[in-house]
Structure 1
Amino acid sequence: MKVLLVKTSSLGDVIHALPAVTEALTRSGDLQLDWLVEEKFRDIPDKHEGVHEVIPVAIRRWRSDWVGAWPEVKALIKRLRSAHYDRIIDSQGLLKSALITSFANGETHGYDRDSIRESVACLFYGKKHAVDKNQHAIYRQKKLLAASLGYRSNEVIDCGLAAPTSKNKTIMLLHGTTWPSKEWPESAWTALANQIRQDGFEVMAPAGNKQERERATRILGGRAGLLDQLSLGDLMSEMQRCAGAVAVDTGLGHLAPALGVPVVGLFGSTSPGLTGILGPQSQLIASTHLPCIPCRKRECQFQKPSDSSNIYPPCFEQTSPEIVWQALQLRLRSKDTKLN
C-alpha cells in the first residue's frame, strides 16, 4: 500500500507525527509511506528509518511572493498528480494542507468536522474520521492514521529515530521560545548551568537568532558550548549525543524524547496536556500555584518587577534550578546509556 502523509509544520507538530508513522509502518508490513513537509523541517522525516520519500514544500516562503513562487507550486502539483496513492492522509487539519491533499491522486482522509482545527478543510476529504480533541496530539495522530489504514492504535510512543547507545556527558539547555511568558528566567538558567558543571557535566545551548545568542552566551559564561545557528539536522546530531536536556515550551523540546534523550520540560503560562513534551524519558514540571495558570497569553499580565531578584514571570517562582537538576538526574540514572 502506498501512502502520502501531509504534515507540513510546525516543528513540534511534525515531531508529534513520528510515532503515528512508526506504528503505521509496523502494523502494515507492505506500507510505503511518503511524507509531505515544510522544507525547513524535512530533516525530521528524513531521519525516520521507515519513511520512503520526503516531499518538501515551502508554503511559508511562497506566501511572500506567490507570483515568483508559481513555478515551484506548479512543479509540486504536477508531481503530486503524477503519482497514485492508495491513501492520502492530511493530519495537519488546516485549509492549506487540505488544498495540498486535494492535488494528490488517491483516496483522501482527514479529521471530521468535530475533530478538526479548521472545519472547512473537511470539504476536501473523501473519508472523514472522528478523533477526540481532548487527548495529546501524539495520540490524535496515531488514531487518525490507524482509522485511515484500518488497524487499532496502541499507547506506545516510538518515534523511529535511531538513538546512539553511547553519549557525551553533556546537557543541552533549550532556552529559546517564541513567547516571553514561556521564558524561564535567565538567572535560573545560569544557576542551572553552573550546578550542572559542578557535578561534572558539560553544557550546550543552541541559538537561532541574535537575542538567543546573547542570552546563551550569558548563560554559558562565554561562547564555549554555544551552538550558533545550526541547521536542524546538525542540531539533531548534537542533541543525540547529549546525556540529557532541559527545555521550556519550545519545538526543540519535543525533539529530545524523539531522539531518546532524557528531558525535563518547564511549563508556566501554557498547559502541557494536549501538546506538551511526551515520551518515556521525559518529565514535566508544570506550575499550578497561581490562579491565572495557564493563561495561554504571549505576555504576562503582571508587570516585571524592578527588583531583579524577583522571579519573572511569576508562574516560575516555584521552579528552581535545584528542582530541575534533581528531576533530570533521576532521568539520567534510569536511562541505561553509557556516558563518555
Structure 2
Amino acid sequence: MRILLIKMSSMGDVFHTFPALSDALQAWPDLQVDWVVEEGFAEIPQWHTAVDQVFPIALRRWRKTFWQGATRHEIRTFFQTINQTHYDLVLDAQGLLKSLWVMRKIGSGERVGMDWQSVREPLASLGYQRTVSVPKAQHAIMRLRQLFSAALGYEDVSASPVQYRLDTSNWQRPDSLPTDFQNSPYYVCLHGTTWKTKLWPEDYWRDLLAKLTASGQKVVLPWGTEEERERALRLAKSLKNDQAWVPDSPLGLNAMARLLKFADGIVSVDTGLSHVAAALETPMVVLYRVTDPELVGALGANVHRLASPCARQYLKRFQSDEQAEQSLEHLRPDDVLNALESVV
C-alpha cells in the first residue's frame, strides 16, 4: 500500500505524527508513505523508516506571491511531480482548508480525514471522500494514532506506549561542537520560545546552570533569534571555566537534532524542539508555565513534564504580578533539578 500523507507544519505537529506512522508500519509492513511537508521541515520526515518520498511544499512562501507567474509555475510543477505517483489513499492529518486545497490537487487515492466534529476546521471535512471520528479531548499524538488506524483499517493501538522509530543509527555528534565537548557529557538548555509567558526567568536559569556545572558538567545554550543569542551569552557569562557553549550561529535542524540526541539531559521550555528531543528519547524535563502538557506537551519514554497551576490557561500576557508568580509554582530550579535527576 502506498499513501500520501499531508501534514505540513508546525515542527511539533510533524513530530506528533511519527507514532501513528510507527503503528501503521507495524500493521502494514509493506506500507510506503510519501509526505507533503512545509519546506522548512523537509529534513524531518526522512528520519522515519516508513517514509519514502518527501515533497517539500512552499505554501507559506507561495501565499506572498500567489499572483506572480513564476509562483504559479512552481505550484503546477510541484503537483505534476506528486501526480507521477499513484496512491491508494491520501490522508489529511492537518485538518485545515489549506491542507484540503493540497489534497484536492492529488489525482489518485481515496481522500480521508477527520469528520466535522473532529477536524480543526470543520469545513475541510466536506472535501473528504471518507471521514473518521476522533475525540478531541486528548493528546494530539493519540488523536493522530486513532486517525491512522481508522483510515488504514487496523486495530486502534493508541493506548499502547508511544514509539517514534526514528532511524538515528548513523548519527554522530555535530561537527560544530567544540573539541572539548566532542568527548564529554553535556546538557542542553532550550531557553527560547515564542510567547514571553512561556519563558523561564533568567535568574532561575543561572541558578540551575550553576548547580549543573558545579559537578563539572558542560552545558550547551542554542539560540535561534538575536534575543535568544543575547540571553544565551548572558547565561554563559555567569559561569566559569568555559563550561557553557553558545554557538556562533543558529544550528540547522539536522545539527540541532544530533546535538539533542547525544546530550546526557535536556531542560526545555515549551518549544517545538522539545518534541524533537522527545522523539529522540533523550532524558528531558519540560517546563509548562501557561500551556497544557496533557494536550500538546512533549510525550516520550524519557520525558518528565512539570506544569504550573496556570498551565491550562494559555496566557499570552499576565494580568498581575501575582499571576506571573503563580505560573512559576512547581517550576523552581530545585524542582527542575530533582526532575532531571529522576530521568537521567
Measure the CA separation in 1 of the matches of 2:217 and 2:66. 49
Query: Residue 271 of structure 2: which of 250, 253, 260 is its match?
Result: 250
For the pair 1:119 / 2:122, whether they are aligned, the reply is yes
> Counterpart of 2:165 in structure 1: which amino acid?
G
For the pair 1:158 / 2:179, whether they are aligned, the reply is no
Secondary structure of the 1:301 match is coil
Match of 1:185 in 2: 201
Query: Residue 109 of structure 1: which of 106, 109, 112 is its match?
Result: 112
For CA contacts below 8 A with separation 6 or more, give which structure has more relative contact order.
1
Query: Residue 149 of structure 1: which of 152, 164, 172 is its match?
Result: 152
Match of 2:177 in 1: none
> Counterpart of 1:118 in structure 2: which amino acid?
E
Match of 1:323 in 2: 335
Query: Residue 217 of structure 1: which of 211, 220, 233 is its match?
Result: 233
CA contact (8 A) 2:278 2:302 kept: yes
Measure the CA separation in 2 of the matches of 1:207 and 1:200. 23
Match of 2:295 in 1: 274
Measure the CA separation in 1 of the matches of 2:269 and 2:216. 23
Measure the CA separation in 2 of the matches of 1:56 and 1:93. 18
Query: Residue 185 of structure 2: which of 164, 169, 185 is its match?
Result: 169
Match of 2:88 in 1: 86
Match of 1:200 in 2: 216
Q: How far apart are residue 163 of structure 1 and its match?
A: 4.9
Q: How far apart are residue 300 of structure 1 and its match?
A: 1.6
CA contact (8 A) 1:181 1:300 kept: yes
CA RMSD of aligned residues (A): 2.0
Measure the CA separation in 2 of the matches of 1:293 and 1:13. 19
> Counterpart of 1:133 in structure 2: which amino acid?
K
Unpaired segments of 5 or more residues in structure 2? 174-183
Moved more, 212-221 or 224-233: 224-233
Measure the CA separation in 1 of the matches of 2:213 and 2:126. 55
Unpaired segments of 5 or more residues in structure 1? 306-310, 333-340
Q: How far apart are residue 237 of structure 1 and its match?
A: 1.2
CA contact (8 A) 2:79 2:105 kept: yes
The C-alpha deviation readout for 1:33-77, integer Å capped at 9, x for no partner, is 111111111121111123111111011122221134222211122
Match of 1:100 in 2: 102
CA contact (8 A) 2:47 2:168 kept: no
CA contact (8 A) 1:176 1:207 kept: yes
TM-score (norm 1): 0.90
Query: Residue 301 of structure 1: which of 315, 319, 328 is its match?
Result: 319
Query: Residue 76 of structure 1: which of 75, 78, 102 is its match?
Result: 78
> Counterpart of 2:202 in structure 1: which amino acid?
E
The C-alpha deviation readout for 1:1-28, integer Å capped at 9, x for no partner, is 0111100000110010011111111210
Relative distance call for 1:249 and 1:55 in structure 2 (3 A) is same
For the pair 1:129 / 2:153, whether they are aligned, the reply is no
Measure the CA separation in 1 of the matches of 2:326 and 2:128. 45
